[in-house]
């Protein structure tokens, strides 16, 4: 094997994941070469902080602060983009493709927003763009959906695909603490960024769910159509009530095939406590995929971190190395379906999606209130599955009613909630969370 010329990779960004990639690639070099059929080495690294980069890489690795220099280098076969973000990363990836280089990236934001353009460019230039590390870190979910389950008509995929929010929800449930307090703790422990918006508002999970939906159903990336709701307004009281009813609340990314189109949504979701996803705690990730032939399959592991993500980056490097010389027509298509076979299926607006609901309302403690609420739900063709009515405390005139509904179209639930909120006996807004039995 030693006579075969090594594959030269250029690494853009040697932060947490870049450093992990270099470390694992070096540590497992012999094993990786046995699998790939030739040595894979990082020949050049671009990073703004050259001094820091030099402390990680060996003396034989060329360092530069100009990433475009690496992208244009004729000696580089594969470009590994680990810079992140939409702007310079997009220019670098397109420039690498234009220069005939394969690309490995962990950049979910870039692919969710600009993936259609990037894959079309790669197809024109007969190069591969591999992105296993973009979704769920070290869990090989892209490979599972694209190759392992390719016999199946995939019906739905639901996943805990953001470790930060899962850590926060686990802590809120375990300790009964409010969201803001747990977020501060997550920042202190390094689970949450200084600006946690992308994580806690569901944007990061929506980037990943968009990529999953494209691969599962053979549709273009449509991030702008995803429904996104984060966990920042979630209250501890609802986590407690959900628990009493036999459910846990998780931030799920959901992609579901329906006759009229595709549901693509991210939001806090009640899942039955006995369900596997409900028991994924801390910063772990898990994805549940339902295929018509295989049934439900679960993928679980670390969704972030230096070496788990590096595991996925290097698996892509090995794949690209193996297929480097293959006729482009015989490679695995980027989005699982042949490029001419993608279907422009509509992503359904949230009002057209179908799910069950958890409703909590503060009501005056008097007779007939529950009957009025039940009548409004019945008018909207919404049936009640379970209920808790709290006893009013000593000297209190108000109490909580918590209802779980059977599945219904969201716009019917919206209309019913508006009518319930208009009742004189209902105080303030109804708290509504979606519920999935999976």
Catalytic residues: 208
Helices 108-125 and 87-98, packing angle to 10 deg: 20
CA proximity to 84, closest of 140, 141, 18: 18
CB-based contacts of 148, cutoff 8 Å, min separation 6: none
Q: How is residue 62 annotated by DSSP?
A: E
Q: For residue 227, give the 3-state DSSP assignment.
A: strand
Exposure b/e, 97-127, CB count within 10 A at least 16 = b: bebebbbbbbbbbbbbbbbeebbebbbeeeb
What residues are paired with 160 via a beta bridge?
A: 286
353 CA to centre of own chain: 19
Q: For residue 212, give the 3-state DSSP assignment.
A: helix
Cβ atoms of 254 and 157 closer than 8 Å = yes
What residues are paired with 387 via a beta bridge?
A: 403
What is the DSSP code string of 261-298? EEEEEEEEEEEETTSGGGG--TTEEEEEEEETTTEEEE
Q: For residue 139, give the 3-state DSSP assignment.
A: coil
Cβ atoms of 346 and 416 closer than 8 Å = no
Q: CA-CA distances (angstroms) from residue 311 to 43, 140, 142, 331, 400? A: 19, 9, 13, 21, 48
Q: For residue 358, give the 3-state DSSP assignment.
A: strand
CA proximity to 356, closest of 279, 289, 272: 272
Pairing of strands 102-105, 78-81: parallel
């Amino acid at each position: 094997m030693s006579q075969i010329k090594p594959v030269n990779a250029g690494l853009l960004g040697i932060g947490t994941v870049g450093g992990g990639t270099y470390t694992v690639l070096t540590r497992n070099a012999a094993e990786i070469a046995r699998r790939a059929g030739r040595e894979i080495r990082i020949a050049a690294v671009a990073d703004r902080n050259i001094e820091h980069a030099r402390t990680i890489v060996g003396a034989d690795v060329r360092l530069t602060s100009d990433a475009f220099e690496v992208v244009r280098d004729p000696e580089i076969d594969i470009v590994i983009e680990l810079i992140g973000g939409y702007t310079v990363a997009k220019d670098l990836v397109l420039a690498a493709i234009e220069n005939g280089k394969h690309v490995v990236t962990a950049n979910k934001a870039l692919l969710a927003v600009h993936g259609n353009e990037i894959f079309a460019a790669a197809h024109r230039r007969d190069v591969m763009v591999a992105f296993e590390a973009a979704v769920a870190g070290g869990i090989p979910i892209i490979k599972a959906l694209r190759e392992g389950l390719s016999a199946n008509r995939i019906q739905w995929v639901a996943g805990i695909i953001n470790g930060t929010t899962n850590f926060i929800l686990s802590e809120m449930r375990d300790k009964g603490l409010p969201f803001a307090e747990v977020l501060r703790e997550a920042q202190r422990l390094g689970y949450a960024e200084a600006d946690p918006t992308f994580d806690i508002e569901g944007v990061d999970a929506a980037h990943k769910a968009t990529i999953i939906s494209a691969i599962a159903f053979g549709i273009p990336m449509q991030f702008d159509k995803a429904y996104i709701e984060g966990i920042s307004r979630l209250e501890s009281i609802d986590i407690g009530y959900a628990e009493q009813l036999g459910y846990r609340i998780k931030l799920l990314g959901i992609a579901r095939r329906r006759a009229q189109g595709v549901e693509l949504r991210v939001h806090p979701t009640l899942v039955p406590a006995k369900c596997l996803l409900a028991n994924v705690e801390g910063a772990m990730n898990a994805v549940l995929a339902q295929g018509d032939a295989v049934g439900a399959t679960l993928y679980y592991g670390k969704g972030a971190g230096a070496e788990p993500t590096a595991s996925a980056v290097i698996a892509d490097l090995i794949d690209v190395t193996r297929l480097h010389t293959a006729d482009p027509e015989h490679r695995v298509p980027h989005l699982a379906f042949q490029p001419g076979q993608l279907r422009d299926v509509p992503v359904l607006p949230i009002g057209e999606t179908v799910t069950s609901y958890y409703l909590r309302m503060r009501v005056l403690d008097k007779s007939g209130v529950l009957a009025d609420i039940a009548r409004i739900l019945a008018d909207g063709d919404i049936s009640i599955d379970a209920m808790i009515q709290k006893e009013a405390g000593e000297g209190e005139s108000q109490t909580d009613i918590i209802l779980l509904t059977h599945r219904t179209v969201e716009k019917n639930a919206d209309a019913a909630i508006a009518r319930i909120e208009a009742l004189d006996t209902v105080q303030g807004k109804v708290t509504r969370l979606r519920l999935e039995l999976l």
